[in-house]
Amino acid sequence: MTRLSVNINKIATLRNSRGGNNPDLVQVAKDCERFGAQGITVHPRPDERHIRYQDVFDLKKIVTTEFNIEGNCQEQKFIDLVLANKPEQVTLVPDVLGQITSNHGWDTITHQQYLKDMIRVFKDAGIRVSIFVDPVAEMVEAAATTGTDRIELYTEAYAHQYHQNKEAAIAPYVKAAEIAHKVGLGINAGHDLDLQNLKYFAENIPGLDEVSIGHALICDALYYGLENTIQMYLRQLAIG
């Protein structure tokens, strides 16, 4: 069964917009788990636009499902933050400063040795490692020799093409997943997944371990409520 990890970045965005503690990020994380979320994902960025480094320490104390910290390991502060909190999973994302959001996966060929070295640091600390990759066969194949436990398929391209041609949209991801299975990698996925495109994605990617969903889910919660929304997303994953 594919796990749903709720990314709460945008709860922090709302909180930060007024300078106080409303919404209370820790309470929202507790409630997300109570409503059925099978993981909590955060993506602390160097500018702390939403998730602050202190949030990670506060959340680590209360997350009882799986804690997934995403971010750019090229920042020493990120490495130190992850090692200090030892989440169940770290997802390494090759962001550059100034990006409005994550918009590309790792070049696992060019950065093969760098990724090997970084992944070793986190795995030696007992942390499962996932690396953010585009659905490109060569990148998935090369991911296998970095030592990563999983890949996270970057699903923005799928989401953007889904309504025009879902068969074409899913095709590169099916091929990437087949390669991942062949080389022994676990499969996560995320970015722009939503209530319309999630079920088709999960149905076509056998062995999908986890989806991490934030932006669309939090937007949906404005209309349907957080508890109902989490249940709606879980129903999209309850295939068969």
Ligand X SMILES: CC(=O)[C@@H](O)[C@H](O)COP(=O)(O)O
Q: Which stretch binds ligand LD2JLWAY (CB under 6 A): 27-35, 73-81, 103-111, 184-192?
A: 184-192
Supply 104's token pair.
């590309």
* Dihedral sign for Cα atoms in the order 34, 35, 38, 43: negative
Rule CB under 6 A: which residues touch ligand X?
A: 7, 9, 43, 70, 93, 101-102, 132, 190-191, 212, 214
Given 33, 70, 152, 210, the catalytic residue: 70
| Catalytic status, residue 191 | yes
Q: Of the two residues 65 and 102, which places its CB atom closer to ligand X in the complex?
A: 102
Q: How many residues bind ligand LD2JLWAY (CB under 6 A)?
A: 13
Mapped onto helix, strand or coil, the DSSP state of residue 136 is: coil
| Catalytic status, residue 70 | yes
For residue 240, give Cα distances in angstroms to 2, 199, 235, 237: 12, 11, 11, 9
CA angle 142, 182, 178 (to 5 degrees): 90
212 scored as a contact of ligand LD2JLWAY (CB under 6 A): yes
213 scored as a contact of ligand LD2JLWAY (CB under 6 A): yes
What distance separates the 2 farthest-apart alpha carbons in the chain? Answer: 49
d(CA 188, CA 182): 15
192 scored as a contact of ligand LD2JLWAY (CB under 6 A): yes
H helix or E strand, kind and range, residue 107 = none
Cis (ω within 30 of 0) for the bond into 23?
A: yes
Q: Which stretch binds ligand LD2JLWAY (CB under 6 A): 50-58, 109-117, 173-181, 213-221?
A: 213-221
Task: Report what 197 binds from ligand X, ligand LD2JLWAY, none; CB cut-off 5-8 Å by kind.
Answer: none
d(CA 24, CA 180): 38
Positions that interact with ligand LD2JLWAY (CB under 6 A): 7, 41, 70, 152, 190-193, 212-216
**Residues in binding site:** 7, 18, 45, 50, 101, 192, 214-215
